[in-house]
């Protein structure tokens, strides 16, 4: 019986040592940051890529959304990126795209097109951080002399049929031979 207790105690100690090793590795290899400037070296390296993919470990945390927006702005302003693709329904995101590119005058502010997100996860897009980014994108596009405006597109398939209908509608609108 004492041997069994000692074996369990020994395994517990080994597990604790393993955890301590992981903690020390994180402490040694992690880099803390408080502002976008602290990420400059990482952003410079990432910006050499054709695509920069930004995720987060939560859905809906203000800090992640704010940082992702700041990184996106930096990539646009400093490195000429011009396309934002998000985990969102294509039709709803295209309403945002229409607003920031002034393809329509039906929206008066960023909240209007963001209100078109009706299905889950609506709260991922209809929040103050994304609203602020959408306002910034519109202002950036308004001030840009380029005819190539920053775009905002959804690449999720939650609304597969609605997405296909909207794409066909857009193709018909521009009289594309690809319209069915």
Tell me: the pLDDT tens digits for 109-133? 999 999 988 876 777 888 999 999 9
Give the Cα separation of 39 and 61 in Å (integer): 19
Cis peptide bond upstream of 12, omega within 30: no
Residue-averaged pLDDT of the chain: 85
Q: What is the CA radius of gyration of the chain?
A: 23
Give the architecture (CATH level 2) of 36-173.
Answer: 2-Layer Sandwich (3.30)
Under 8 Å between Cβ of 92 and 80: no
Could you state, in order of their start, the residue ranges of all structural domains in the chain?
Answer: 1-30, 36-173
Confidence grade of residue 90 (pLDDT, cut at 50, 70, 90): confident
Give the Cα separation of 82 and 37 in Å (integer): 21
Separation of first and last alpha carbons in the chain: 77
Its pTM stands at: 0.76
Give the Cα separation of 69 and 35 in Å (integer): 12
pLDDT value at 1 more than 60: no
């Amino acid at each position: 019986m004492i041997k069994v207790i000692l074996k369990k105690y020994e395994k517990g100690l080994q597990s604790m040592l393993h955890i301590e090793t992981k903690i020390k590795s994180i402490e040694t290899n992690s880099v803390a940051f408080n502002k976008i400037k602290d990420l400059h070296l990482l952003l410079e390296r990432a910006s050499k890529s054709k695509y920069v993919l930004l995720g987060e470990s939560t859905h809906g945390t203000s800090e992640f959304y704010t940082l992702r927006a700041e990184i996106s702005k930096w990539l646009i302003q400093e490195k000429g990126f011009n396309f934002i693709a998000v985990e969102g329904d294509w039709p709803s995101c295209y309403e945002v795209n229409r607003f920031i590119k002034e393809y329509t005058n039906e929206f008066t502010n960023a909240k209007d097109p963001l209100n078109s997100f009706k299905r889950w996860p609506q709260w991922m897009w209809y929040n103050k951080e994304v609203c602020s980014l959408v306002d910034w994108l519109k202002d950036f596009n308004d001030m840009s002399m380029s005819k190539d405006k920053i775009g905002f597109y959804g690449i999720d398939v939650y609304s597969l049929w609605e997405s296909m209908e909207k794409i066909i509608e857009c193709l018909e609108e521009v009289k594309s031979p690809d319209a069915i």
